[in-house]
Amino acid sequence: MKKKILLSFALFLFIGKAFTQDKKFHIYFCIGQSNMEGAARIEAQDTVNIDSRFKVLEALDCPKIDRQKGHWYTAKPPLCRCDTRLSPADYFGRTLLKSMKKKQKLGIVHVAVAGSKIEIFDKVNYKAYLDSSAKEKPWMINMANAYGGNPYERLIEMAKIAQKSGVIKGILLHQGESNTGDKTWPAQVKKIYDDILADLNLARNSIPLLAGELVAAEQGDKCASHNAIIATLPQSIPNAVVVSSNGLTAAKDGLHFDSAGIREFGKRYAEALMQYSKK
């Protein structure tokens, strides 16, 4: 009888340990549209010298790059979907990891859809938004369909897997080109932020949200006016931090950052988080 009790107790400890979060594994969500997804070209320098402590949780099956949905991999770009390009998340992770202890790791959960409004991450209204966009942006619908037709739900699904491995530390957002001038944008972002925390059983306002500005007017951005709206986000979310895009180089289309700009932007996200953490 005693042997059975001891065996059961040992099994309990083993199972408990197997599903215990590693507090040294810090996890961040990356959401938004094309600049977060990765619109800049991946160059040779972006594929080498990647610390194996920097991980990405693949959000869909990608046989061409030998990745499976729901599994962790060293964070070699692309970090979003199977054929996306360079994201701020790439250099956010690399930069932040340099400031972390050697026994710590950093993981990314990345779900983004080019050309989408913030409404695509609204757990209630996403379907109405996608239905209304079907004729105008069929390519965007195909991207959403890669996430099972519901990017928010896929984010939460992956986040719950990630929670078994580590601790959620923050959210990176880059979105707004498709919502330029929409003064309800901060309130919509707040709803999504609150929903994410509630669905993951995290305390309200318990993690930072880092929101990057759009390409600056000096770089010819067609949507730079939205930066004034992004600047108001901390009024809605106490833990929101706005990441400046001032001086970052951009592509000729006036909407996207180029590779050099994306690398620097990722570093700025990391630096903004480090400054926030000192408060």
Positions annotated as catalytic residues are 34, 253, 256
Cα–Cα–Cα angle for 147, 118, 137, rounded to 5 degrees: 65
Interstrand relation of 105-112 and 54-57 (parallel, antiparallel or unpaired): parallel
State how far the Cα of 65 lies from the Cα of 76, in Å rounded to an integer. 10
Asked if 7 contacts 149 with a C-beta cutoff of 8 angstroms, the reply is no
Most distant pair of Cα atoms in the chain: their distance: 77
| Residue 31, strand partner residues | 111, 173
Taking the CA atoms of residue 31, residue 135, residue 254 and residue 234 in that order, the dihedral angle to the nearest 10 degrees is -40
Asked if 37 contacts 80 with a C-beta cutoff of 8 angstroms, the reply is yes
Asked if 151 contacts 144 with a C-beta cutoff of 8 angstroms, the reply is yes
Count of C-beta atoms within a 10 Å radius of residue 146: 19
Count of C-beta atoms within a 10 Å radius of residue 206: 12
Closest CA to 270 of 176, 197, 172: 172
State how far the Cα of 225 lies from the Cα of 15, in Å rounded to an integer. 53
